[in-house]
Amino acid sequence: MRRTSAWARTRSPARPRRIWCLALVLLLWADPVLSPGLLALDAKTGVSVIDDQGQQITLEHPAARVIALYGAFNEILGSLGRADVIVARTNADTLPASIARLPVIGTHLRPNIEAVLAQRPDLVLQLAGRKEASLPVEALKKRGVRVAVFRAATFAELFSVIRRVGLLTGSEAQAEDMVRGLEARLTALESRLAGAARPRVFFEVRSPNLLAAGQTGLVAEIIRRAGGVNCVEDKAKFARLSEEEIIRLAPEAFLIQRGPMNPAPLPLTSRPRLRAIPAAQSGRAWFVDEQKYSRPGSRNVDAAEELALLLHPEIAPPGARPPKGAKPVHDPKPALGAKQKDRK
């Protein structure tokens, strides 16, 4: 006689619940668009996500003491209404304004490990990318600190980061609302730019040792979303170029970021060899805020909208004023308080 499992013969009231929970987890895991890296949320069992190093980050409860080694995460937390969980900052970070008086734990790439541990964080956040940024991550992990490392080189990756930071801090509803709002703004911008000509854009990351934005990274996507074409053909995030190469590229618009990476850039009017490029001849060159364009966060959508109005003033509503954040390059003043230390 063939034996039949008692579990198979006896219907357990918990069995359907287990099946549905398993199905939900598999759905979230399998669909990166629906919820990339997001595993589970339960008020009793805690929260769990997969970071961009493939590590599962599990907390017994949503994080209440957070340290961001990269300041963009502080801005994301502030936008989610969770600046209250930030317990320390790096010496270069001042946003949101409420963190200004918090303890300083060193720099983005060289935090003081003991200073971090003294704040008893239940979660530390770091941006993936530079090799130097991984050193404090490994040091903190060895000391038992939970560290989540995220990558945000596109809007899709940025929105995934916002969702996962929201989950880890118990603000997943706010994160979802925030992402949907940002996505709606980008969709509206795309609609307004439909059929518009796309000017060739050059984005200066640093000078006088010229470094430009390449085809990879958020700046490149901001340019595209704003109705422009990045004239730098290098597939990397950054490209080292000479002034001769800029002349060959003949950009029709020229953006010069000002901030920690480029604290005192000169206007094109003070660069004799670049005065003949189309952007200089037409006056379509502007200083822009480095943190708005180059630092991942909700302000990247502001940057796309701002740049769209600069490149395509015809889409502005009647009577609208020029964008506040960008300044014509005839203004020679460097960004106030900008320092070249601890470059982001």
> What integer is the mean pLDDT of 41-68?
88
| 200 and 323 inside one domain | yes
Is residue 25, in this structure, part of any structural domain at all? no
User: Residue 332 pLDDT more than 90?
Assistant: no
pLDDT of residue 36: 52
| 134 and 84 inside one domain | yes
Is residue 177, in this structure, part of any structural domain at all? yes
Element (H, E) at 91: none
Is residue 170, in this structure, part of any structural domain at all? yes
Is residue 232, in this structure, part of any structural domain at all? yes
pLDDT of residue 185: 97
> What integer is the mean pLDDT of 143-167?
97
Q: Per-residue pLDDT tens for 190-214?
A: 999 999 999 999 999 999 999 999 9
| 143 and 240 inside one domain | no
| 165 and 226 inside one domain | no
pLDDT of residue 24: 44
pLDDT of residue 38: 59
**Domain span holding position 97:** 61-183
Domain CATH for 307: 3.40.50.1980
Which positions ≥6 away from 134 have C-beta within 8 Å?
Answer: 149
Of the two residues 40 and 291, the one the predictor is more confident about is 291
Mark which of 133, 159, 183 sits at the end of a domain: 183
pLDDT of residue 253: 98
| 177 and 200 inside one domain | no
> DSSP secondary-structure letter at 234?
-
Which positions ≥6 away from 28 have C-beta within 8 Å?
Answer: 34, 35, 38, 39
Mark which of 139, 158, 183 sits at the end of a domain: 183
| 118 and 233 inside one domain | no
Is residue 15, in this structure, part of any structural domain at all? no
Q: Per-residue pLDDT tens for 140-150?
A: 999 999 999 99
pLDDT of residue 322: 66
| 225 and 263 inside one domain | yes
Q: Per-residue pLDDT tens for 253-294?
A: 999 999 999 999 999 989 999 999 999 999 999 999 999 999
For the range 281-286, what are the long-range contacts, defined as Cβ-Cβ under 8 Å and sequence gap of 24 or more?
282/252, 283/328, 284/199, 284/252, 284/253, 284/254, 284/310, 284/311, 285/253, 285/254, 285/255, 285/256, 285/328, 285/329, 286/254, 286/255, 286/256, 286/310, 286/326, 286/327, 286/328, 286/329
| 105 and 67 inside one domain | yes
Is residue 20, in this structure, part of any structural domain at all? no
> What integer is the mean pLDDT of 82-108?
94
Mark which of 158, 183, 208 sits at the end of a domain: 183
| 235 and 134 inside one domain | no
pLDDT of residue 342: 42
Q: Per-residue pLDDT tens for 301-319?
A: 999 999 999 999 999 887 6
| 281 and 318 inside one domain | yes
Number of domains in the chain: 2
pLDDT of residue 132: 82
Is residue 44, in this structure, part of any structural domain at all? no
Is residue 19, in this structure, part of any structural domain at all? no
| 131 and 204 inside one domain | no
| 201 and 290 inside one domain | yes
